[in-house]
Amino acid sequence: MVSARIKIAAWAVLWILAASVGLANADGPMAAEPRTVRVLDNIYTIVHGNGIDSNTTFLVTDEGAIVIDTRVTPGEARKVLDEIRKHTDKPVKYAINTHFHGDHTFGNQVFRDSAAIIAHKNARSALSGSNGVDHLNFFKTFNIPGLDEVKVTPPNLVYEDRMELYLGPFHLQLIHLGRGHTDGDTAIYIKELRTIIAGDLVFNKKIPYVSSGYIDEWIDSLSKLEDLDAEIIVPGHGDVGDKPILIRMKHYLIELRNYVTAELAKGSSLQQTKDAVRPVLREKYRDWLNLDWIDANIERAYLEFSVKKKT
């Protein structure tokens, strides 16, 4: 089961890399340049990272720092440390992976000697042994500078449903809401800051990568996050925003599901479904990046809901 999951995930990462390395759709807006954003007094996010445009967030306290997602290479992770040093000389106590994908975890080795690396147990499984080697080798098929330095470093502290983490005045709730973007997603809720670091459960103004996701459960997870008392949402890709970016993400997935299941009810083939749904979604989300991912998302939805229709 783990091997099959990794193969599916590796195929899907192709879509991440193709869009990220290309930076933009031919008919869509250009991706932004990397920059560090001060979200609140104690929390910063590096958005639109080099190599792949994933986000990294760090929290600064009097007792130390916490890094959430370690970027795609050790070189990029060291840039995160350089940013942290502009704000504190305290050590990094924890590094958290929101899921196993290499653009969020291949910088782990930079933090392993000084910090506990935390993730859901399924993320550790996906990065351990031959699974991790296969995942890195797949990334190496793309021209991302610095990957030769990567030593896949699985999390060394895992949890199953929920984990509580305290540092300085802050209480972080690490929450696994079920399968969504992957089967090992972690969302981080900081109640004192009314902030959710959502990982790839949320993309902001970008068509999400759904190809190895679980659409129904993903929608449920977003509904649960929506119920939390939070004003700030930090996505896995795209600019930091407020709760409407989470709601827009959920609505995209709902529309994807509804359009595809309507075609299934008609008895449409996969190709007929793509031809019917693609133009509708491309028009509705024409100001989002990654429009070329829509076909793969339709295919994933068709597979998921074809199986559910039979059961």
pLDDT digits (tens, 9 = 90+) for 51-76: 578 999 999 999 999 999 999 999 99
- State pLDDT tens for residues 276-294: 999 999 999 999 999 999 9
Mean pLDDT along residues 159-163: 98
pLDDT for 143 equals: 84
Q: Which residues pair with 166 in a beta bridge?
A: 171
Helix then strand then coil, in percent of the chain rounded to 5, is 45, 25, 35
Q: Could you tell me the pLDDT band of residue 9, with boundaries at 50, 70 and 90?
A: very low
Q: Which of 33-42, 188-197, 279-288 has the lowest mean pLDDT?
A: 33-42
Residue with the bigger pLDDT between 161 and 10: it is 161
pLDDT for 71 equals: 95
Mean pLDDT along residues 180-199: 97
Q: Does pLDDT of 14 surpass 70?
A: no
What count of other Cβ atoms lies within 10 Å of the Cβ of residue 262?
13
Mean pLDDT of the chain: 90
pLDDT for 212 equals: 79
Distance CA 192, CA 184 (A): 25
Query: Residue 310: CB partners within 8 Å, gap ≥ 6?
Result: none
Mean pLDDT along residues 133-154: 94
Share of the chain above pLDDT 70, in %: 88
Sheet arrangement for strand 43-47: 35-40, 43-47, 56-61, 64-68, 92-96, 116-120, 157-159
pLDDT for 53 equals: 80
pLDDT for 308 equals: 79
Beta strand pairing call for 157-159 and 116-120 = parallel
pLDDT for 279 equals: 99
| 2-243: CATH number | 3.60.15.10
Query: Do residues 106 and 71 lie in contact, with contact meaning Cβ atoms separated by under 8 Å?
Result: yes
Mean pLDDT along residues 148-162: 98
Which of 120, 103, 98 lies closest to 187 in space, CA to CA?
98
Share of the chain above pLDDT 90, in %: 82
Residue 264, SS3 per DSSP: helix
DSSP code at position 292: G
Mean pLDDT along residues 109-137: 97
Which helix (H) or strand (E) is 279 found in, with range? helix 270-284
pLDDT for 49 equals: 60
- State pLDDT tens for residues 207-219: 998 987 999 999 9
* Annotated domain spans of the chain: 2-243
Residue with the bigger pLDDT between 137 and 311: it is 137
* CA 33 to chain centroid: 19
Distance CA 40, CA 45 (A): 10
Could you please report the per-residue DSSP string of 148-195? GG------SEEESSEEEEEETTEEEEEE--SSSSSSS--EEEEGGGTE
Mean pLDDT along residues 241-258: 98
Query: Residue 135: CB partners within 8 Å, gap ≥ 6?
Result: 6, 9, 10, 13, 100, 102, 126, 127, 152
pLDDT for 32 equals: 58
